[in-house]
Amino acid sequence: MRRIALVAATSLFCAGAVLGAQATETQPAERATLEKAFDASIQPTEMRDWMKILASEPNHVGSPHDKSNAEWILAKFKKWGWDAHIETFEVLYPTPIHEALELLGPKPFKATLQEPPIKGDTSATAKDPALPAYLAYQGDGDVTGGLVYVNYGMKDDYDALQKLGVSVKGKIVIVRYGAGWRGLKPKLAQEHGAIGCIIYSDPHDDGYAEDAAYPKGPMRPPHGIQRGSVEDMTLYAGDPLTPDVGATKDAKRLKISDSPVILKIPAIPISYADAQVFLQGIGGQVVPASWRGALPITYRVGSGDEKVHLLVKSDWSLKTIYDVIAMMKGSEYPDQWVIRGNHHDGWVEGATDPLSGQVALLEEAKAIGKLVGTGWHPKRTIVYTSWDGEEPGLLGSTEWAETHQAELKQKAVVYINSDSNARGILEVGGSQDLEHLVNGVADAVTDPETGVSIGERMRAKLRDDALNPNARDKEQAKAVAKMAADPNRDLPIEGLGSGSDYSSFLQHLGLPALDLGFGGEGNSGGVYHSRYDTFEHHSRFVDPGFVYEAVLAKTIGRLVLRAADAELPVERAGDFAGEMAVYLGEVKKLADDKREAAEIQNADLHDNIFALVADPTKSHGNPTALLPVPKFDFAPLDGAVDRLKKSAAAYDEALAKNGAGLPADRLARLQSLMQDIDGTLSSDVGLPGRPWYKNLIYAPGSLTGYGAKTLPGVREAIEQERWSDADRYIKLTAGVLNAYSDRLDQATAVLNGT
């Protein structure tokens, strides 16, 4: 990294010596002055005070405090000199009218479904009512059936359940939070024939096993409940009734019963205090070791004899959401937009999620306003956004992105997102041609705990991760650590899946995007989406002193300022090409591993291995036979990645050599070629079965939800045994990579004047 950084700095410095209508980058010294002035505005105590106000009452969609927060935020933007307004949308947002969950039989029990207030905490003083425990976009119902425990309720768990000889057909499943996105749990339950789904927070995952429970420590107390959305965002994000278009008043809407992203079975979240009674009440065989949580019980799968009654009835009316949009016009390129966003709605008071990121965003906006007040102007237009309705399904950002998609595709340079923030180490994901931009900033911000740059600390983290004996994928961790230890390379950043407001920009519109936050030391997981995600909790356990909110503001502020002021494109193609080569290697290895696994499993099935090893005193079943894996023709992707590497090297070299001092006409042409180069990575066809997702490089996994799948058309086709899709998306993905290379080659020609 350092070597590249030095080269870049040198070229920037040279650029400064060239006058006139040419690429004239801000000089390092000038930039340092600007950023120093920016930093001087960042006040932790101010962010603390703002959080206290914004988190004083529940602020979910439709709550009075959510609306008043939007208005408060709007007023701040205006006060700081931004051209700001509120844009509203009308979205489907169900809220519960009646809920019940009870264990029937000889020892009946009614789940409390309540989070008691905690003394000394805003949860005990808020006047607005909190939403009860519920899951947005579950399917209302009134069902009674046997109970089956399915661990995290992910695909692997159903495979294991099948080997235990247990079915969930006609049953209610109880699963724990973790291992994948919440919404997949009831979806998979439904697909397997379950009639209802209970999701609980096991103390193993965010309770006392991790640390003391709140208020003694940061973790989830016995009655803490994780609310959340179960909208099927693997198909599309945003309002369930208006895919592809903005949920304006007059938008054409699907019927609720026709929306594919709304569940058909009832689902409810519960606490571990409640869950323990249900789990203790069920029989059947003991679970596999990896299914055990931290409750002091013997976890069992359930015999099906124990009956449970689950009832959920909701108000399915439309609600208004309030996005705050603020613009600071660019002096040179007003039609090039650097967009920055963080949502303002929470599930209850939402101190950490989302207000920790929101107050950093506000602090940045204030600082930018102040800079403008002193006469400075960004070259590009800066757009600050404060989204509503992220929690139920990225509603505010998605509806805005869909409404303005034509303009955004034309004008957006980058979308930079944040959300929850905590004390710790930088975590960053996004479009990997922006790695170099991120690195420059990460090297320029000092970590308050160690005194080194946040980039150096992140690099250390990636190197240390490879030593973790519990790393999920040791080979991958080792590969990343090797990149992080290479001083000749930018620090790698992760591909993005879903789970926050970048999704519609990156994956639906195909725009470059980044998502940043700090974490790993302060702990907010234990109160996530509960009544206890309060100002007091955040101040005590997540980021005491709001130190890392300040670091976040300084980090993202720099990204915004540099993206807004850069004359030359901020992309570095070599980083991107390197990552694509790694991903292609992973996908090929996946195919080989799957092929071997299928061969072994088929031989085992043929030889009756699974029945022979089963304990005959317990039920058991054979796994579904894996399909034999063909040899895929990866040649198109091999060729595309090879070409990309060459085109990228040529472009990066040309940029370093000829970028500085580029004549104005060629600079304009270069900017125009590179501004929407990431758009070449999308295809109108979109991904198989989910055409809303246009980006063929980055997607949320259809069976992981949050986690990113890179080269998703190919990777998921192989994972899910869709061989013809694999062949087809090898070609399609090669096509978009070639389009990216084409664009690079054109840009290189402009740079080299050939």
The residues of the shown chain that bind its own copies, judged by CB under 8 A, are: 203-204, 208-212, 217, 219, 286, 289-290, 292, 294-299, 424-425, 449-450, 452, 456-457, 460-461, 463-464, 466-467, 469-470, 481, 485, 520-521, 600-601, 603-604, 607-613, 615-617
Which CB, 20 or 296, lies closer to its own copies? 296
To the nearest whole angstrom, how small is the minimum distance from the Cβ of residue 484 to its own copies? 10
Which CB, 173 or 481, lies closer to its own copies? 481
CA–CA dist 469, 437 (Å, integer): 32
Q: Is there a contact between 157 and 141 (Cβ–Cβ < 8 Å)?
A: no
To the nearest whole angstrom, how small is the minimum distance from the Cβ of residue 466 to its own copies? 7
Which CB, 486 or 745, lies closer to its own copies? 486
Tokens of 370: 């102040």
Which residue type is seen at 9? A
To the nearest whole angstrom, how small is the minimum distance from the Cβ of residue 351 to its own copies? 20
Which CB, 37 or 294, lies closer to its own copies? 294
To the nearest whole angstrom, how small is the minimum distance from the Cβ of residue 88 to its own copies? 43
DSSP characters over 505-545: IIIIS---EEEEEEEESS--GGGTTSTT--HHHIIIII-GG
Q: Which residues neighbour 635 within 8 Å (Cβ) at sequence distance 6 or greater?
A: none
- Distances in whole angstroms, Cα of residue 53 to Cα of each of 351, 366, 533: 10, 17, 14
Which CB, 276 or 381, lies closer to its own copies? 276
DSSP characters over 606-646: HTTHHHHHS-TTS---PPPPPPPPP----HHHHHHHHHHHH
To the nearest whole angstrom, how small is the minimum distance from the Cβ of residue 292 to its own copies? 6
To the nearest whole angstrom, how small is the minimum distance from the Cβ of residue 600 to its own copies? 7
To the nearest whole angstrom, how small is the minimum distance from the Cβ of residue 180 to its own copies? 16
Q: Which residues neighbour 708 within 8 Å (Cβ) at sequence distance 6 or greater?
A: 429, 494, 495, 496, 497, 698, 699, 700, 701
To the nearest whole angstrom, how small is the minimum distance from the Cβ of residue 597 to its own copies? 8
Which CB, 19 or 289, lies closer to its own copies? 289
Q: Which uninterrupted H or E stretch holds 653?
A: helix 635-658
To the nearest whole angstrom, how small is the minimum distance from the Cβ of residue 447 to its own copies? 9
CA–CA dist 149, 300 (Å, integer): 7
Which CB, 406 or 612, lies closer to its own copies? 612
CA–CA dist 753, 666 (Å, integer): 8
To the nearest whole angstrom, how small is the minimum distance from the Cβ of residue 668 to its own copies? 43
CA–CA dist 25, 11 (Å, integer): 9
What values do phi and psi take at 62, rounded to 5? 90, -10
Q: Which residues neighbour 688 within 8 Å (Cβ) at sequence distance 6 or greater?
A: 713, 716, 717, 722, 725, 729
Q: What angle do CA 385, 390, 396 make, to 5 degrees?
A: 50
Q: What is the CA radius of gyration of the chain?
A: 26
Which CB, 528 or 651, lies closer to its own copies? 528
The b-or-e profile of 53-71 (16+ CB within 10 A means b, else e) is ebbbbbbbbbbebbbbbbe
CA–CA dist 490, 111 (Å, integer): 51
Closest CA to 623 of 634, 632, 633, 614: 614
Q: Is there a contact between 366 and 41 (Cβ–Cβ < 8 Å)?
A: yes
To the nearest whole angstrom, how small is the minimum distance from the Cβ of residue 478 to its own copies? 8
Closest CA to 386 of 69, 7, 679, 602: 69
Which CB, 66 or 719, lies closer to its own copies? 719
CA–CA dist 712, 695 (Å, integer): 9
Tokens of 572: 């570095």
Which CB, 450 or 724, lies closer to its own copies? 450
Q: Is there a contact between 260 and 104 (Cβ–Cβ < 8 Å)?
A: no
Which CB, 210 or 390, lies closer to its own copies? 210
To the nearest whole angstrom, how small is the minimum distance from the Cβ of residue 461 to its own copies? 5
Which CB, 447 or 549, lies closer to its own copies? 447
CA–CA dist 333, 356 (Å, integer): 31
To the nearest whole angstrom, how small is the minimum distance from the Cβ of residue 490 to its own copies? 17
Which CB, 158 or 634, lies closer to its own copies? 158
What values do phi and psi take at 723, rounded to 5? -65, -40
Q: Which residues neighbour 709 within 8 Å (Cβ) at sequence distance 6 or greater?
A: 497, 698, 699, 700, 701, 702, 715, 716
Which CB, 106 or 616, lies closer to its own copies? 616
Which CB, 294 or 311, lies closer to its own copies? 294
Which CB, 35 or 443, lies closer to its own copies? 443
To the nearest whole angstrom, how small is the minimum distance from the Cβ of residue 216 to its own copies? 9
Q: Is the peptide bond before 378 cis (omega within 30 degrees of 0)?
A: no
Which CB, 375 or 616, lies closer to its own copies? 616
To the nearest whole angstrom, how small is the minimum distance from the Cβ of residue 456 to its own copies? 7
Tokens of 520: 């790993």
Q: Is there a contact between 569 and 669 (Cβ–Cβ < 8 Å)?
A: no
To the nearest whole angstrom, how small is the minimum distance from the Cβ of residue 545 to its own copies? 12
Q: Which residues neighbour 401 within 8 Å (Cβ) at sequence distance 6 or greater?
A: 408, 504, 505, 508, 509
To the nearest whole angstrom, how small is the minimum distance from the Cβ of residue 543 to its own copies? 12
Tokens of 519: 């974490």
